Structure 1
């Protein structure tokens, strides 16, 4: 029988490739042969676009900027009065002076809502197909729609609801939005896979983790501008869903912390849900290059792969590490730093075979070393190995200015210079892609097992102040990092210590803004930020969205204070 299938999602599938479960064989289809697809091919063509915008949402200038640069963790100044001004959006973001015309806010909104629209299309069209995959794919589309709705609730305070693609969406806020997302996740969960599914797709465990997140933040979402009151029954649900994931034994804490963010992290057992970025699929993230200096060259002999002098960590965030470990240096925590180039501790080690050349990871401080580039080529040792030495800002035409990352970074001319601010090298500079700057292959982590342990610890603290159980969960995560030195075990646990621990474990992972709001820290002051307005907990709805709905009276209301 001839099948009639909406060709638009199939064409999108061909553009954005597969969903990360397997390498789906692409074939060139035109409108004539699209109607002759098997049900399996048609189902894959419908589910592919549901995931396809995740890399765009998690682009370094979109969701990352909103979740990190708006916090005490990251700052992006106007570098050298020449780079990264972008109409001031990174300055206003950090200061909580968000603008309705901010491109990062608008782009994040657009990509999320495109993804919701594609999810609705898949939910509507998949049931007409007869392949066994349809049941699972429909559940994935429904779970992904709920996940995208969780993002819009968290960022913008709204959820758009409809099942008919041609209908006008209902707009939910507060408790109604929480209940809707909960209902959708629970409806999808029974038909999702538990094993034999990569972390690039929605699974039962991923849904359990999203339910735990939803319940943990529900008090905030129900009344966004109030001081949250965490209901014991919500905390029970957080514990229940975290228990399900931990007891499944499908995931393992990674002995090497930075392996979670390596090129080949698609096989890392700690990750539950992630943006699949393998190059044979749709890899292109720029997380590795965003913070590094323009005169750091992390790939052997690749003259095009360098940093961009983007965001640094704030001195405020660095001091949380410094204070926690004083008088010892925070590098005793293997999550803070990993030395890969031995010249940092042994200045005589200035020749490195290309196969062994990897830049350091974690939080980078002080004089930076690496490949030395002169007149467009890298210097070599006599034996042909890579010559490594102290770096200078040659690419900025400042060969007299060493690449020495300093603690001080702010929006003053002195604090905005290229070397200012300790940098973050958390994601690996890809060794496999054609260009490590633009095509990073490390999957971007959305949910991992360490977060499950720390969410459970927080729920236990908030429910009945069970500090002993919370301490055990936190120390389980700490004790798992055995590849080098383990972080010292903690001896006590409070909400403030747990908040600090979440910063140490999840820096640069798009969780900080949500954590700060839940812990009552977002109205604090740091670096260049003095705004204490609780109304800035939500981002503004982009002006383009408000304008687009202007012919529908009172349909889409701008968030307070914008």
Structure 2
């Protein structure tokens, strides 16, 4: 039996009672990890996982988790690119309303994803009584339902309790929502496998997600609170569940930090739970392409595979690196900041198989493949190698116009130009992508072992164990040994501000910054082009279309305060 199946396109009603017009590709879904699951079970379960790659796109989950923070900013590039009626400016300035494309897309995807898990649960439940394989998959999709609801709770402050596909969901908020998710995660642990990740939900994955739930529970119980009550009970649970992953034995921290985001990271033992994007699953390369210059090309074999001049990092967040390392350039101090992969030979020519792009934070004058115009074939030597040199900016007429990234980026005309803002290339550029956007190979990280150490450190710190927190953070820093010259030096002190900064260094561009900023009390702060301090912006508005679609059930779907 083949290990891949065709994912059948289903038309599923959104939980609020309205319908979605999401366009979905037919995907090859591999859920076996080499096993031989039945067509029935795999056919039921595949749709529950199937929309994760599209949800974890640059304009969906990334947009709402990173653009509103001090890490990322996306101006109206050159007055003509990424304007999109101001939606990214609204996200960054916290001026969004109930009608907003990125927020709407996240809602549409998540509600359908929850619905798919409910459908799968209804089909698998009677089978699981006598079929061990169905019992495992039932635990997975039930765990996925809890995970999807946890994201809904984080974004909108609500959760959908729905056990029957034919019934209307019950809306839960606050502690009821947290307790529902907790009990669902805990209930599935005994039936989950331990060795089918990271693309499938495993026991280790649920332990890590439970740690994340308890870490954020104080926020999700009362998102508008003036201060959050991080109880010892919750923090002890964070430590307990983090320990379950840390002490499992099958996970280990990667010696090369950026290997966590390589094209072959599916087998990286630091990944606990991830969006499976191996080439046969038709993933996307958007996390690599989004920040890169339009004049940047990631593969000499594909002259149409360029970047898009999307978001850059704010000067505020870059300065946190500078402040941390003082006179030492962060690229020389911390393996997480930069990895030079493009080693240019003396004759400035390189073979296609040896071509690799740098990783991390891009600053200043950029080097890359040489061509004679945008999306034209690259210049080759007589022996077939590819010329490398300063990247020409083909949007400008001057012969000496090069891609030269500057630190300052903002919403002024000058600050929105194509060269503004340092850029991020954290994920390896796909070797298969022919247009820069498609055919992603790297799994997109949801949870990795480093986060379990960092969550444990935060729980210890919030309970007064400063030494234990410092030890955990330094353990993660010291683990990046592949390039000894840039192993981050051990920290000598620890407090919440340092830990928040350290989480930024470790998890930037990983869909976590908004959640972290709220939990650490930083989200109402001021940074580049953002001054809004409204605590009601900690949750997003329920899309107006969903409110309208549920209007027949009076009082069912109530808009969040402030919208």
Asked if 1:422 corresponds to 2:425, the answer is no
Any unmatched runs of 5+ in structure 2? 1-5, 11-23
What are the superposed Cα offsets for residues 103-122 of structure 1, whole Å, 9 maximum, x if unpaired? 11111111111010010011
Q: After alignment, is 406-415 or 278-287 more displaced?
A: 278-287
> What is the correspondence of 1:97-246 to structure 2 with a 5 Å cutoff?
97-129=95-127, 130-195=130-195, 197-226=196-225, 227-246=227-246
SS in 2 for 1:402: coil
Deviations 1:339-364 (CA, angstroms, capped at 9, x unpaired): 11234xx8x45222222111111000
* Residue 401 of structure 1: aligned partner: 401
Tell me by how many angstroms 1:14 deviates.
10
Return the offset for 1:474.
Answer: 0.7
Report the TM-score when normalising by structure 1. 0.93
Change (3 A) 1:55 1:9: closer
List structure 1 segments (4+ residues) > 4 angstroms apart after TM superposition: 8-14, 395-400
Q: Which residue of 2 aligns with 1:507?
A: 508
Larger CA deviation: 133-142 vs 277-286: 277-286
Within 5 Å, which residues of 2 pair with 1:142-541? 142-195=142-195, 197-226=196-225, 227-331=227-331, 332-343=333-344, 348=346, 350-375=348-373, 376-395=376-395, 400-463=400-463, 465-484=464-483, 485-541=486-542
> 2:168, 2:7 → 1: CA distance?
21
CA RMSD of aligned residues (A): 1.8
Q: Which residue of 2 aligns with 1:30?
A: none
Number of corresponding residues: 537
Query: What's the CA shift for 1:132?
Result: 2.7
**What does the per-residue CA deviation read over 1:191-246, in whole Å, with 9 as the maximum and x for residues that have no partner?**
10112x12001111110111100100011011101111110010000000001111
1:411-444 Cα distance to aligned partner (Å, 9 max, x none): 0000000010000000111113444432221100
2:19 matched to which residue of 1? none
Measured against aligned partners, the alpha-carbon deviations of 1:169-188 in whole angstroms (never above 9, x if no partner) come to 11011111000000110111
Secondary structure, counterpart of 1:407 in structure 2: coil
The CA deviation at 1:56 is: 1.5
CA distance in 2, matches of 1:17, 1:381: 39
1:212 and 1:455 in contact (8 A); partners too: yes
**Offset from partner CA, 1:151-186 (integer Å, 9 cap, x none):** 000001011111111111110111110000001101
* Residue deviations 1:17-70 (CA, integer Å, cap 9, x gap): 324433789xxxxxxxxxxxxx92111111000000111110110000000001
Does the aligned pair in 1 maintain the 2:272–2:448 contact within 8 Å? yes
SS state of the match for residue 360, structure 2? strand
Aligned partner of residue 288 in structure 2, secondary structure: coil
2:23 equivalent to 1:22:
no
Segments of 5+ residues of structure 1 without an aligned counterpart are 1-7, 26-38
- Identify the residue that residue 13 of structure 2 maps to in structure 1: none
TM superposition shift of 1:396? 5.9
Larger deviation, residues 494-503 vs 39-48: 39-48
Q: TM-score normalized by structure 2?
A: 0.92
State the alpha-carbon separation in 1 of the partners of residues 347 and 104 from structure 2: 48
1:349/1:524 CA distance change after superposition, 3 Å: farther
Return closer, same or farther for 1:210/1:397 CA change in 2, 3 Å cut-off.
farther
Tell me if structure 1 keeps the 8 A contact 2:68–2:93.
yes
Name which of structure 1's ranges 551-560 and 81-90 shifts more when overlaid on structure 2.
Answer: 551-560
**1:295-326 C-alpha deviation (Å, 9 max, x unpaired):** 01110231111100000000000000011001
Which residue does the alignment assign to 2:78? 80
The DSSP-based 3-state class of the residue aligned with 2:160 is strand
Matches of 1:157 and 1:111, distance apart in 2: 17
In the superposition, relative to structure 1, how do residues 554 and 466 fare at CA in structure 2: closer, same or farther (>3 Å)?
same
- 2:275/2:445 contact within 8 Å kept: yes
- Work out whether residues 7 and 28 of structure 2, in 8 Å CA contact, stay in contact via their aligned partners in 1: no
